[in-house]
Amino acid sequence: MLSCMSTTSKSPKAVAAAAYRIARDTLPEHFSRYSPKKFTQPQLMTCLVLKAFFNTDYRGIVQILNDCPSLCNAIGLHAVPHFTTLQKAARRLLNACNAEKMLQRTITIVFRRRRTVELAAMDSTGLDARHISSYFVRRRRSKQPEVLEETTYTRWPKLAVVCDCRTHLILSVITTRGPSVDVNQFRRPLDRAIRHVSIKHLLADAGYDSEANHRYARETHHTKTTIPAKIGRPTTKLPKTKYRRLMATDFDKQKYGQRWQCETVFSMIKRNFTDSLSARSYWPQCRDMMLLVLTHNLTIVLLVKELFYRAGQEPLILI
- The domain spans of the chain are 96-145+152-285
Q: Are 28 and 41 in contact (CB under 8 A)?
A: yes
Tens of pLDDT, residues 25-77: 999 999 888 888 899 999 999 999 999 999 999 999 999 999 999 999 999 99
Q: Is 80 exceeded by the pLDDT of residue 113? A: no
Tens of pLDDT, residues 188-202: 999 999 999 999 999
Tell which CATH architecture fits domain 96-145+152-285. 2-Layer Sandwich (3.30)
Q: What is the pLDDT of residue 2?
A: 45
